[in-house]
A and B are shown apart, each in its own frame.
Chain A
């Protein structure tokens, strides 16, 4: 029976190609979308954790960095540093700004940083080209922003009527909807109209500092302040991206799954219809419905496995290619995800194998007597 399944499958190469292509497409869709999702989730975490601080002090109610806004007095830093266990309170001065670039409206999340400082605090995650040590008239932009808008080191951006020369290009600051740009902290205050205020403070604790005590002490300064640990801050921001991303991803994964099932199911079903007589012969010579279903199941499973292999290979190649040609399309394809998608592909094949069940069960062995 396996021989029949295999030989029938390979005899009709066009049908086999369609079947494998359908699954490969579905697998590709799922793998790349999942990879995209994991990559962005990881990137959000990487960027925040890259600041290497213990907690954030924000205005109460500022749920995340993107869709909510926090304004704190710059002088608060000294009071925060007076709290027992707080080694340092670093101002986080940042805001999303819109400006015109090459005649188009663009958005950037401008962050102020201290170019002299290394180790902790905000700043570009990795430098790809140019310099990190910038002055007040300069800016470091993310490589995705640079690639998207054709900006390079030496070009000038005009943000809020102020000219900034691109002095460096960094990576790790792409958040899908926007990219981070970095200017000096003093320039950020002027540029973002923050003057004597800042967005948040980043707290660096002494070793073995009492986190709960510090949280209490911050709230005694002003009940409108909120302390978030770095893991909480990462979670909150990831959740915000997930909120927008996961439903879309979920729908597309379901669509991919249905495409896979439909393509295998329809090709197998049409093959069964075309080979109805052969199934009639099998029935006539004593094959059980279960044995005939096995022929179909083997064919469906082969299509699923081959489609999975092709889809995975193409996805990995596409992901590598995208890294070079479309830098904003960054994916993280994990082995666990590939294993899960493999299971999904097998499930596609299994479900598809049952599509022609009724037809097979109802095949009339009398067909064998027709000339």
Chain B
């Protein structure tokens, strides 16, 4: 790990409510994420995963501690500047994709570029390139409702990458995907981190994907543990509902171009070894 990580949560705590209703959503969380690294935070529901992601994603301020992005403290920035950070420095991938139903895959991906002020032709060209790289070159004009879950998630990933951010934050990115699509998406994250030098932080409670990451951390009751032994966390190891093995695989269009089928095979082996 380098001295100056891309993302550094320095003893971050977050409290909601007061008095009897006080909830410590995060307590003294210390997290460093370097460029080229794919880190996973695993924790059960209510463990503070979303709060952590919101703080890391400059959407929520910490009650104490500091968040540094490229060594710059985020607490010093105004709402407008934080919005700019979210637009240009951070890419978001969400559990339920959050695509705009009225927009085509191309327009969904191009949207953040439009917010960043990129011209129409340039952003559409770039969005097409990104989608092509994600294996959706033939689906540019499709509306989200015409895409499979795996394709939707890849469009969401394209939207996160269009402004070329150094940091990618993903919230349960495989929760709504079948196992094959989930593995494909994780493989894309792997590639994005390793080949493109981005830092990727994935928050999940999907036990099937832990082997895809460089580092796994556990978040329990707002406290972050270091690289842990997954076998010791049986409660968090359940696969998300509706995505059990054996469920129908995504359509063939779900296979991104740059991924070999061998990757899926090795991932499946790893999943089999996970506790149920």
Contact with B along A333-371 (1 / 0, CB 8 A): 000000000000000000000000000000001101111
Interface residue from A8, A281, A286, A371 paired with B175 (Cβ < 8 Å): A371
B102 touches A8 (CB 8 A): yes
A277 touches B98 (CB 8 A): yes
Q: Quote the shortest CB–CB distance from B177 to chain A (angstroms).
A: 13
CB of B226 closer than 8 Å to a CB of A: no
Which chain B residues (104-119) contact chain A, with CB distance < 8 Å? 107, 110-112, 114-116
CB of A3 closer than 8 Å to a CB of B: yes
B96 touches A371 (CB 8 A): yes
B107 touches A286 (CB 8 A): no
Which chain A residues (281-312) contact chain B, with CB distance < 8 Å? 281-288, 291
Q: Which residues of B contact A209 (CB under 8 A)?
A: none
Closest chain B residue to A9 by CB distance? B102
Closest chain B residue to A2 by CB distance? B114
Interface residue from A4, A277, A288 paired with B103 (Cβ < 8 Å): A4
B95 touches A371 (CB 8 A): yes
Interface residue from B88, B101, B110 paired with A286 (Cβ < 8 Å): B88
Q: Quote the shortest CB–CB distance from B215 to chain A (angstroms).
A: 22
Closest chain A residue to B96 by CB distance? A371
Contact with B along A267-282 (1 / 0, CB 8 A): 0000000000110011
Q: Quote the shortest CB–CB distance from A286 to chain B (angstroms).
A: 3
CB of A7 closer than 8 Å to a CB of B: yes
Q: Which residues of B contact A366 (CB under 8 A)?
A: 50, 54, 59-60
For A11, A283, A368, A369, which residue has the most chain B Cβ atoms within 10 angstroms?
A369
Q: Which residues of B contact A287 (CB under 8 A)?
A: 83, 87, 115
Which chain B residues (72-93) contact chain A, with CB distance < 8 Å? 80, 83-88, 90, 92
Contact with B along A1-35 (1 / 0, CB 8 A): 10110011011000000000000000000000000
CA distance A291 to B80 in the complex (A): 12
Closest chain A residue to B54 by CB distance? A366
A286 touches B114 (CB 8 A): no
Q: Which residues of A contact B87 (CB under 8 A)?
A: 285-287
Q: Which residues of A contact B53 (CB under 8 A)?
A: 369
CA distance A63 to B13 in the complex (A): 83
Q: Which residues of B contact A285 (CB under 8 A)?
A: 86-87, 92, 111-112, 115, 159
A-B contact count (CB 8 A): 81
Closest chain B residue to A11 by CB distance? B102
> Interface size of A by Cβ–Cβ distance < 8 Å?
24
Q: Quote the shortest CB–CB distance from B202 to chain A (angstroms).
A: 14
Q: What is the predominant secondary structure among interface residues of chain A facing chain B?
A: helix
B86 touches A368 (CB 8 A): no
A284 touches B114 (CB 8 A): no
Q: Quote the shortest CB–CB distance from A78 to chain B (angstroms).
A: 84
CB of B57 closer than 8 Å to a CB of A: yes
A288 touches B59 (CB 8 A): no
B115 touches A368 (CB 8 A): no
CA distance A282 to B116 in the complex (A): 12
Q: Which residues of A contact B50 (CB under 8 A)?
A: 366, 369
For A1, A7, A285, A370, which residue has the most chain B Cβ atoms within 10 angstroms?
A285
CB of B100 closer than 8 Å to a CB of A: yes
Contact with A along B149-162 (1 / 0, CB 8 A): 00000000001000
Q: Which residues of A contact B175 (CB under 8 A)?
A: 371
Q: Which residues of A contact B116 (CB under 8 A)?
A: 286
B103 touches A368 (CB 8 A): no
B54 touches A286 (CB 8 A): no
Interface residue from A1, A3, A284 paired with B59 (Cβ < 8 Å): A284
CA distance A288 to B115 in the complex (A): 8
Q: Which residues of B contact A286 (CB under 8 A)?
A: 83-88, 90, 112, 115-116
Q: Which residues of A contact B114 (CB under 8 A)?
A: 1, 3
CB of B94 closer than 8 Å to a CB of A: yes
A288 touches B112 (CB 8 A): no
B102 touches A7 (CB 8 A): yes
CB of B171 closer than 8 Å to a CB of A: yes
Q: Quote the shortest CB–CB distance from A43 to chain B (angstroms).
A: 51
A368 touches B111 (CB 8 A): no
Closest chain A residue to B89 by CB distance? A286
Q: Quote the shortest CB–CB distance from A274 to chain B (angstroms).
A: 11
B107 touches A368 (CB 8 A): no
25 A-B pairs, CB-CB below 8 angstroms? Answer: A1-B111, A1-B115, A3-B111, A4-B102, A4-B111, A7-B102, A8-B100, A278-B100, A281-B100, A283-B83, A284-B86, A285-B92, A285-B115, A286-B86, A286-B90, A287-B83, A287-B87, A291-B115, A366-B59, A366-B60, A368-B98, A369-B50, A369-B94, A370-B96, A371-B95
Q: 15 other contacts beyond A4-B102, A284-B59, with CB at 8 A cut-off?
A: A1-B115, A3-B103, A4-B111, A7-B102, A11-B101, A278-B98, A282-B115, A283-B83, A284-B86, A286-B83, A286-B90, A368-B92, A368-B94, A369-B95, A369-B171
